[in-house]
Amino acid sequence: MSGDKMVMRAWTRAQSRLGRRPAMPVVACGMLAGLVAVGQAWCVASILARGLAGPASARWPGAGLLLAALAGLAAVRALLMAGGDMAAARAGQQARRRLRDEVLAAILRGGPALLRRRHSAELTALAVDRIEALDGFFARWIPASVLWIAVPALIAALAAVAQPGAAAIMILCGLAVPVGQAVFGIGAAVASRNQFLAMTRLQARFLDRVRGIATIVLLNRADDEAGRLAAAADELRRRTMKILRVAFLSSASIDCAMVVALVLIVVRDGGVVQLLRHGGSPAALADAAARSLFVLLLVPEFFAPLRALALAYQDRAHAAGAASAMGDLPDAPAQAAPARDALPALAAGGVAVAFAHVTFAWDAARGPVLDDLSFAVGAGEILTLVGPSGAGKSTIIEMLLGFIVPDSGQVLVGGADLAAMAPATQSALVSWIGQKPVLFAGTLRENILFARPDADEHALRAALDAASVDRFLADLPQGLDTPIGEGGFGLSGGQAQRVAIARAYLKDAKLLLLDEPTAHLDPETEGEILASLRVLARGRTVILSSHAAGARAFAGPCLDLGLDLGQPGALAPRPVPVEEGRHVHV
């Protein structure tokens, strides 16, 4: 826990340093607005003092000038406050853009393996909701952390010119505010972290249930899951209300300090009240009343920056919670030298792949899925993984994609350890086509060019021809510029697979991974897709995960994960061709 606090404090200090310069215009506007507020208080006090001193003073020739000055100062203060708000919005926007870029870069550095340690919903909440909540830290807290000292000090100094004793009272009452903020701030930070955990749990649960909604409905558990989601939402509501309670208590402590200061100043100015009651010269009465009213009007302005600090203290609590959430992200590239990245040996016809005594278990209690598995695929070869469901076919594919790492053993690609490669290197090596292609909301062109945004029109047309996308392109209303929905909405299953094949062709990676690419397709469409996949497989190393019936679609060796020979690791990894059609037993 002590280490976590040190990390949070270091991160908060670093972000404060980065956000201080963009916040300087906000601070300048706040200082000038505080100075203008003092002028407004003096104008109002002078006008009211003339009225209290008697009719003769009220008709003082300077009253009209004071009213004009008051109106002018009000307009200037409104402009300064508007300028400060706009500057604060810009500072928050710049900081959020910078942080979001850093978080996304860290997620990309972590690669697919990061998803095994942290739920995708948690990472989404961090990159979207958590960073969005940090807007107040840069737009409000950083300026308030300067203004809560500078503006009260300025006001107290000017108040001391009129009544030194009243200024001393304001300072003493103001010093009590940070003590109360420290007490309530500890509770606010804890409540903020708990709220983020509740929000993360709710998002993760909701995402998982949406993904598995068909299974939930088939098992008639929709009402149970709806109840659990409602309970998670209620937990988030309760924790959010707890944060609001702490914020209200924090604001109440400032109001109490301000009321005490007002009472003490009024009691101290009892002599002025007696002077007004028993009379005196109009000039003396006006001057005394003006000084007393001036100081009283300055009390709310003195505590206004302290109230702004209290309101922004919750933003600081959000930053502390974000620091703990971001602490587990991978370090910056400067901490991982490029020389440490394992670079594979590439061949013209693909890249060699080998599993060396690989063992992996999703759940230790249920035993390993892969137990001392060893096999080799030469560059340019096609290996088909066959076996019943649960034999480990998809596990091998996910391991080659980098989503998981072996519990023991090595996965070698081009003779280099896959675990030692940078995620960018892994991504450049591999193309993947699964049962359901990942398509985004956008145009067909954008989805295909996602693999290589800088591809020219000639390369794009070659990919369309290789994947036979041109067969249905003419039927689309806008051709390549036809918009499609999330998940390929608007395309058939076969058309979506062709788009995925075109994307893989355009990427031109050396290793092609196919995970049941023709599942859920009718026989005619399956034959067409397999024909396009054969074109895509030329000059590449291909690993195909399929049931026994689909294994005959591609020529090449076959790794049957369903056989039990009692001798794990029967084949040592070697980057040499295996006899075509021979089963490799593990």
- Domain of 124 in residue numbering reads as 1-328
57 and 150 both lie in a single domain: yes
372 and 312 both lie in a single domain: no
What DSSP string runs through 161-215?
Answer: HH-HHHHHHHHHHHHHHHHHHHHHHHHHHHHHHHHHHHHHHHHHHHHHHHHTHHH
306 and 362 both lie in a single domain: no
Is residue 290 a part of any domain in this protein? Answer: yes
323 and 374 both lie in a single domain: no
Task: Give the whole-angstrom CA distance, residue 516 versus residue 533.
Answer: 12
3-class SS at 27? helix
Is residue 339 a part of any domain in this protein? Answer: no
296 and 403 both lie in a single domain: no
442 and 305 both lie in a single domain: no
CATH number of the domain bearing residue 406: 3.40.50.300
Could you list the pLDDT tens digit for every one of the 586 residues in the chain? Answer: 455 667 677 777 888 888 889 999 999 999 999 999 999 999 998 888 777 665 554 455 566 788 889 899 999 999 999 999 999 999 999 998 988 888 887 777 766 666 666 766 677 777 777 788 788 889 998 999 899 899 999 999 998 888 888 889 999 988 888 776 666 666 666 776 777 778 778 877 887 888 788 888 888 888 888 888 888 888 888 888 877 777 677 777 788 888 888 888 887 765 455 555 545 566 666 677 788 888 889 999 999 998 888 778 777 777 776 776 676 676 554 444 444 555 566 655 678 888 988 888 887 788 888 888 888 888 888 888 877 777 788 888 888 888 888 888 889 888 888 888 877 788 888 888 888 888 888 888 888 888 888 888 888 888 888 888 878 887 888 888 888 887 777 788 888 888 888 888 888 888 888 887 877 777 788 777 888 888 888 888 888 887 645 555 566 666 667 654 334 433 333 333 333 333 343 3
Task: Give the whole-angstrom CA distance, residue 108 versus residue 99.
Answer: 14
Is residue 85 a part of any domain in this protein? Answer: yes
What DSSP string runs through 247-274?
Answer: HHHHHHHHHHHHHHHHHHHHHHTHHHHH
3-class SS at 569? coil
Q: Which amino acid is at 513?
A: L
400 and 318 both lie in a single domain: no
Token pair listed for 85: 């708000």
CATH number of the domain bearing residue 136: 1.20.1560.10
Is residue 580 a part of any domain in this protein? Answer: no
Token pair listed for 415: 């003779």
Contact present, 132 and 95 (Cβ < 8 Å)? no
497 and 380 both lie in a single domain: yes
316 and 464 both lie in a single domain: no
173 and 321 both lie in a single domain: yes
272 and 138 both lie in a single domain: yes
The separation between the first and the last C-alpha atoms of the chain, rounded to the nearest angstrom, is 46
Q: What is the dihedral of CA 151, 152, 155, 157, to 10 degrees?
A: -110
Residue 235, phi then psi, degrees to nearest 5: -65, -40
Task: Give the whole-angstrom CA distance, residue 416 versus residue 89.
Answer: 48
Contact present, 536 and 564 (Cβ < 8 Å)? no
Is residue 333 a part of any domain in this protein? Answer: no
Tally of domains within the chain: 2
197 and 257 both lie in a single domain: yes
Is residue 23 a part of any domain in this protein? Answer: yes
Final residue of a structural domain among 293, 328, 363 = 328
Helices (H), 327-422: 393-401
